[in-house]
Amino acid sequence: MKICKTVKEVRNTLQNSRSKGQSIGFVPTMGALHQGHLKLVEASKENCDLTVTSIFVNPTQFNNADDLSNYPKTIDEDSEKLMTTGCDILFLPDVKEMYLSKPQLRIGFDGIAEQLEGSFRPGHFDGVGLVVSKLFNIIQPDQAFFGQKDLQQFFIVKALVDHLNYSIQLRMVPTVRESNGLAMSSRNMRLSEKERKEAGLIYKALGIGQKSLLNSSDIQAVKKEVKELFDTSERLGLEYFEIISTDDFKPTESLFNKEKIALCIAVNIGQVRLIDNLMLIS
């Protein structure tokens, strides 16, 4: 696996691959890699000739300075994991390489970005849009791979690709879960063993909500049922549970197009905030 730390180096390396007609798959990450990330790399390996993974903790998408400073950094372990998956190139820039000066360009999103995570984390998706756009321009992949756990982020990136006419095929890879159903996340590293076990309630709640919706279609009753589950928990605090359409990520009162309905949730446990989702028809 070749490690590139500068834009010039990774571009030169990829130009050589393009001249050979190789297709390029791209997996953007912020490091602290887990099995979910590795599944993305494996999916890229299956679909593309060459796989590039980036590790960059992007400061512009954090609206909480403590969240940024506490984000786990495990570069050595991450590199070893990527090598075991057969990743071809690791792009590992620092902040000065990605942002030569304070960013003067802003990529703003209306609609989807104002819902759910956007309303609880103002400016988050603007930062995501900026860094993903920069990475897409640097790597110029044929395909890019994202996990379903960050469902709203996937549709934000889709809007970016559609509106800026990127010639990139986006691929969403199903969420990888721990044995109790907890979605794998870099933030899980900050959970105690007891907290990690109890956080299995998140997936349980999603499953109960999914089953209830399919049986009764009573959205308000399902929301109440899920809220009551968390009311009985001493450690887990429900921030939101919404049933939305992936067309706009607004709460919906209709299940007419079931294939586009998703159950989305955010929960606080201790100092850690976790998100998850299930499609109604999975």
Give the pLDDT mean for 58-73.
Answer: 85
Beta bridge partners of 91: 4, 54
* Domain of residue 150, CATH code: 3.40.50.620
Domain boundary residue among 118, 144, 173? Answer: 173
Mean pLDDT on 127-144: 97
**pLDDT score at 215:** 93
259 alpha-carbon distance from chain centroid: 20
In the prediction, which pLDDT does 244 show? Answer: 97
Task: Establish whether 37 is a catalytic residue.
Answer: yes
**Which among 34, 37, 124, 163 is annotated as catalytic?**
37
Q: Whole domain around residue 271: which residue ranges?
A: 186-277
156 with 195, same domain? no
Q: List pLDDT tens digits, range 245-277.
A: 999 999 998 898 999 999 999 999 999 999 999
Residue 178 lies in a domain: no
pLDDT tens digits, residue range 195-237?
999 999 999 999 999 999 999 879 999 999 999 999 999 999 9
Amino acid (one-letter) located at 132: V
Reported as a pLDDT band with limits 50, 70 and 90, residue 105 is confident
* Same-domain pairing of 134 and 209: no
pLDDT at 63: 80
CA distance 248 to 240: 17
What is the pLDDT confidence band of residue 106, given thresholds at 50, 70 and 90?
Answer: confident
Do 142 and 35 fall into the same domain? yes
CB 128 within 8 A of CB 106: no
